């Protein structure tokens, strides 16, 4: 198999995959001598660039995905907005932000920050696999601890939690009158999902 054939196969796999393509998944596809993503992805990215394609390849959640280039965001967003998809509610965004920056964190600490009951929104984002139960706290009652998942990384187009904006950077953004840009970053994820708030029982602690 030639290098050009491997590139074509890799592009097809990236296009067909609904989640980030990892080396482990590539190894399962090839019977022998699987191509190495770290070697071929730069070649494919260079090919996209030279052909001036509206696509690029981004490292997300430990794998790779084909995404549209930022200059075509307006058109893609119009299409998605016409699809009837639901986006994250403000309560879900606030809860996810607290969990992402303080994980693992229990419900009582989340509610202390938000100032409202979070049992319903926690159940909703748990069902959507944006967060997971990470264990139990050592405090009184041993409440459940929550942390983000790889689905969370995919939703927001992140490769790892460390890629999130630092809190100091967020403060600097808000202090320099760019709060609208920050809101756009939080409320407009790379990969839309269907998450809404709904009344629900609190996960048992």
**Between 88 and 110, the higher pLDDT residue:** 110
Domains of the chain by range and CATH? 3-79 (1.10.10.10), 90-187 (1.10.10.10)
Spell out the SS3 assignment of 149-193: CHHHHHHCCCCCHHHCCCHHHHHHHHHCCCHHHHHHHHHCCCCCC
The model's pTM: 0.51
Do you find a cis peptide bond into 168, omega within 30 degrees of 0?
no
For the chain, percent of residues with pLDDT exceeding 90: 33
Pairing of strands 144-148, 105-106: antiparallel
Residue-level pLDDT at 171: 66
The mean pLDDT value for 102-131 works out to: 90
Q: Please enumerate in sequence order all residues whose Cβ is within 8 A of that of 125, keeping only pairs 6 or more positions apart, or say none.
A: 92, 95, 96, 131, 195
Q: Is a pLDDT exceeding 50 seen at residue 199?
A: no
Q: Is a pLDDT exceeding 80 seen at residue 112?
A: yes
Q: How far apart are CA 23 and CA 1, in angstroms?
A: 18
């Amino acid at each position: 198999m030639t290098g050009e054939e491997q590139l074509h196969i890799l592009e097809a796999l990236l296009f067909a995959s609904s989640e980030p393509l990892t080396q482990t998944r590539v190894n399962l596809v090839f019977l022998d001598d699987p191509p190495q993503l770290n070697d071929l992805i730069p070649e494919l990215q260079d090919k996209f660039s030279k052909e001036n394609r509206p696509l690029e390849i981004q490292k997300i959640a430990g794998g790779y995905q084909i995404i549209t280039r930022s200059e075509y965001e307006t058109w893609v967003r119009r299409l998605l907005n016409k699809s009837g998809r639901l986006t994250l509610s403000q309560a879900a965004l606030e809860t996810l932000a607290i969990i992402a920056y303080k994980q693992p964190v229990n419900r009582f600490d989340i509610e202390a920050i938000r100032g409202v009951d979070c049992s319903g929104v926690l159940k909703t984002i748990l069902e959507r696999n944006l967060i997971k139960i990470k264990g139990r706290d050592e405090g009184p009652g041993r409440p459940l601890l929550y942390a983000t998942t790889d689905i969370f990384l995919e939703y927001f187009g992140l490769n790892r939690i460390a890629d999130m904006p630092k809190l100091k950077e967020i403060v600097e953004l808000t202090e320099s009158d760019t709060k609208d840009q920050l809101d756009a970053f939080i409320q407009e994820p790379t990969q839309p999902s269907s998450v809404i708030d709904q009344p629900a029982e609190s996960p048992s602690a």
